Amino acid sequence: MGNSGKGYFIITFGCQMNEHDSEVIAGVLQSKGFVKTDKHENADVIILNTCCVRETAENKVYGMLGRLRRLKTLNPNLIIGICGCMPQQEEVAKKIRHRFPYVDLIFGTHNLHQLPDLLDKVLESKETVLEVWSTNGQIAENMPIKRENGIKAWVTIMYGCNNFCTYCIVPYVRGRERSRLPEDIIREIRQLAREGFKEVTLLGQNVNSYGKDLEQRTDFADLLLLLEDIDGIERIRYMTSHPRDFTDKLINVISNSKKVAEHFHLPVQAGSNHVLKMMNRGYTREQYLELVEKIRKAVPNASITTDLMVGFPGETDEDFADTMDLVQKVQYDSAFTFIYNQRTGTPAARSEKQVDVNVKKERIKALIELQNKISLERNKADIGKVLKVLVEGRSKTNNDRLAGRSGTNKLVIFSGQEDLIGKLVNVKIVEASLSHLDGCLVNI
Ligand code: SAM
Ligand code: SF4
Ligand code: F3S
């Protein structure tokens, strides 16, 4: 194929869906003879897989594209590609083409499966290849995937989002909800088990609306039950679940499962009914708190994490106080916190009630301070407990020790032999900080 030994380098921004799409891109490049390089300076193909959920993510990409000009001058045969959510917006694709004419390949989220052909076109012609589909593509099965990790794998169960939260760009760049067939998901996970993977994370923007578009109705709870039976897979995670669609049936299946992790990531976004309504989230704070209570009752050792946003247009001091109060009530194990960012094309971006930037900064500071205090307390409450940890490798901060994750998704560091990597072990927690737990191996 003529690419043998040529190097590729992929830079990924954004969420796990994008990380996983990059594994598909790597699979395609390897199937065409390219090999992964450790530095972008050594690559013959550089792909930027982009995110547009907030402006900061977009700006990083523009900065990087600017810096790549020098590499292209040094090596005119270098292929620079850009894909993912940014070029899925028509205006952005045009802007990239004009501002960075040395970019060779521009494609979107709906036509990732075309990558083999697009690459051929780029290799044959000297013209920029721009191919972005505006509507949902078919679900492409059997794409090659080069997974980074041999222990835990991401598995897409559905694409797109129908929720249209008023601040969010994702439904515009990822299209409507499309579920993969259960048999295709099972086949993929069985194969992962044969390859030695121990954990899977089921991916979708809203996994608990899985199956609503399938002819033969299988909902997310049914899917979890089907996956429970796959030998070799010891832990199942999923993300993200929308609080509105979290049914009693699902809580029941998770609480009785031996494999589904006891970690619930339930993005709340805001604690005020006024803001939740403006966001089109589809639940009230009371319904959310009731859901948390049900989960805590059914799965007493559950960890609960969330996404929180401050400064949504029209958010008053009272609304923000409601968010602080909800955070205090739920006692999240951890939270991703964001400052609301205007995204062109979304309803909230057109609101005239944008919150002052200094107010937003004050609110996020107060929120992070509160959540850090709670996270540390929650971690300290694990001291003395024995947690089941899937060992992932050596600790990045202390190479003499091993690191893994508990079912509650906490990072646990402990001493042990290398042959434990890939195994589930019992670790007794002896110390806790904001970022991780320290423990020692125990036999029980
Ligand atoms: N589908 C998931 C859900 O419903 O929670 C999350 C998807 S989104 C990629 C991840 C997080 O980004 C959201 O939960 C939200 O907190 C944040 N986010 C989305 N749009 C944003 C915006 N315009 N400004 C700031 N944060 C935003
Ligand atoms: Fe965005 Fe809402 Fe869909 Fe999540 S559920 S991806 S926040 S529109
Ligand atoms: Fe970003 Fe696209 Fe994910 S906008 S958060 S990479 S779906």
The tens digit of pLDDT for each residue in 243-291 reads 998 999 999 999 999 999 999 999 999 999 999 999 999 999 999 999 9
The least confident of 142-156, 269-283, 333-347, 423-437 is 142-156
The tens digit of pLDDT for each residue in 324-366 reads 999 999 999 999 999 999 999 999 999 999 999 999 999 999 9
Q: Is 269 in the pocket of ligand 2 (CB under 6 A)?
A: no
Question: Which residues on neighbouring strands pair with residue 50, listed in sequence order?
Answer: 84
The tens digit of pLDDT for each residue in 48-81 reads 999 999 999 999 999 999 999 999 999 999 999 9
User: pLDDT-derived band of residue 195, with 50, 70 and 90 as boundaries?
Assistant: very high
User: pLDDT-derived band of residue 2, with 50, 70 and 90 as boundaries?
Assistant: low
Instruction: Tell me the best of 50, 52, 53 to mutate to test the pocket of ligand 1, counting ligand atoms within 8 Å of each CB and taking the most.
Output: 53
pTM over 0.85: yes
Residue 1, pLDDT above cutoff 60: no
Q: Is 242 in the pocket of ligand 2 (CB under 6 A)?
A: yes
* 25-36 mean pLDDT: 94
Question: What pLDDT, on the 0 to 100 scale, is given for residue 426?
Answer: 98
Instruction: Tell me the best of 307, 336, 341, 344 to mutate to test the pocket of ligand 1, counting ligand atoms within 8 Å of each CB and taking the most.
Output: 307
Asked if 169 and 206 touch (Cβ cutoff 8 Å), the reply is no
Domains recognised in the chain with CATH numbers? 7-131 (3.40.50.12160), 152-380 (3.80.30.20), 386-441 (2.40.50.140)
The tens digit of pLDDT for each residue in 362-384 reads 999 999 999 999 999 999 999 99
Ligand nearest to the CA of 58: 3
Distance CA 261, CA 118 (A): 39
Residue 242, pLDDT above cutoff 90: yes
Burial of 248 per CB tally in 10 Å (0-12, 13-18, 19+): exposed
Average pLDDT value for the chain: 95
Of the CA atoms within 13 Å of residue 287, those in its CB half-sphere come to 16
State how far Cα 18 lies from the chain centre: 7
